[in-house]
Amino acid sequence: MSNWPLFIAPDTVAQFQSATGLVVDYKEDYNDDEQWFAKNKEPLSRRQDIGADLVVPSEVIATRLMGLGWLNEIRHARVPNLQNLRPDLLNSSADPGRKFTAPYMNSITGLAYNAKATGRPITSVDDLWDPAFKGRVTMFSDTLDALGMVMFAQGNTPAEPTTESVQRAADFVRTQKDKGQIRSFTGNDYVTDLASGNVAISQAYSGDVVQLQADNPDLKFVVPEAGGTLTLTDMVIPYTTQNQAAAEEWIDYTYDRANYAKLVAYIQYIPVLSDMTDDLARIDPALADDPLINPPPEILAKVKQWPLLTDEQTQEFNAIYSAVTGG
């Protein structure tokens, strides 16, 4: 299994192995969507084994893989707990009925900051460009996660992207890069510099910051005033899999409410299963009241999701941003 860093509870693999008798080679080697796709597209196109029976990309990559015919269909008879999925996700236009993709976690992309390093609260995208933080700002290398909030700050919306609005956001980021404002463009590896104080502000995923706060209470997460983005990751089975049945067993185990509650309690992201309040409360009553796990209306009103993009849009938008990042 190939997954993002900080995206599983410490005892999940051991408990799954004990419950099923299966052995899992679990790797936290998925750091960036476009990097992963660039690395694996050639072997996948030749139907060569990529060394993973189950991968957890963002839905943007998952639907791209689905469109290319590089995913195996998930046999629903082997995943009876699929019935626990939220109806809005089960009936999504991205994959109606979830034949090829199994949602894993919803997350909010916003801003994280080290209060000791900033010396003041951070509330908006404009704070990224404060000269006081020159060279201590990171942005995501992923096009959608990086540019969505910049587009909001410019009066546009990632929910209705155009070439012009994406280009305008990318051009502004280029200006800040040329000024030396941005330290680096990152995947999930932003967390190390943020926690150490080398970085004052970074674009971040909500769940990552909640986990890091346990060891460093100076770390804060905020949805920018103008808006942030809501993202979804999916579990998918590459058509090069060597163990389809075991991958389906993992998905079904994950979709058991009690098992999933343990994941959410550690990862601290927004659940994809419905009616999770009671299961979360059994672990910790505060979980159901956490605004980053069960976002209140005022936060949900500030976040939007990118629409499904055509292959042409994906290639065009990525080319625009990679010209800035050097990726």
- Establish whether domains 12-106+231-293 and 107-230+302-325 are of one fold: yes
3-state class of 283 per DSSP? helix
> pLDDT exceeding 70 applies to what percent of the chain?
100
Query: Do 201 and 127 form a contact (C-beta atoms < 8 A)?
Result: yes
**Per-residue pLDDT tens over the stretch 137-149:** 999 999 999 999 9
Q: One-letter amino acid identity for 297?
A: P
Question: CATH fold of 107-230+302-325, please?
Answer: D-Maltodextrin-Binding Protein; domain 2 (3.40.190)
38: pLDDT strictly greater than 80: yes
Look up tokens 């104080």; give the residue.
197
User: Own/partner pairs for 189-195, CB < 8 Å, 24+ apart?
Assistant: 189/5, 189/31, 190/112, 190/138, 190/140, 191/5, 191/6, 193/138, 194/112, 194/113, 194/114, 194/138, 194/219, 195/114, 195/219
Confidence of residue 293 (pLDDT cuts 50, 70, 90): confident
pLDDT at 195 (0 to 100):
86
pLDDT at 298 (0 to 100):
84
The Cα 237–Cα 184 span in angstroms is 32
**Per-residue pLDDT tens over the stretch 92-125:** 888 999 999 999 999 899 999 999 999 999 999 9
The DSSP result for 155-189, as a single string, is T--TTS--HHHHHHHHHHHHHHHHTT-EEEEESTT
Query: Do 101 and 275 form a contact (C-beta atoms < 8 A)?
Result: no
Report the 10 Å Cβ neighbour count for 121.
10
Confidence of residue 290 (pLDDT cuts 50, 70, 90): confident
pLDDT at 311 (0 to 100):
83
3-state class of 297 per DSSP? helix
Domain boundaries, the chain: 12-106+231-293, 107-230+302-325
The Cα 223–Cα 238 span in angstroms is 34
Instruction: Say yes or no: domain 12-106+231-293 is CATH 3.40.190.10.
Output: yes
Query: Do 238 and 30 form a contact (C-beta atoms < 8 A)?
Result: no
pLDDT at 327 (0 to 100):
61
Pairwise pLDDT comparison (327 vs 175), residue with the higher score: 175
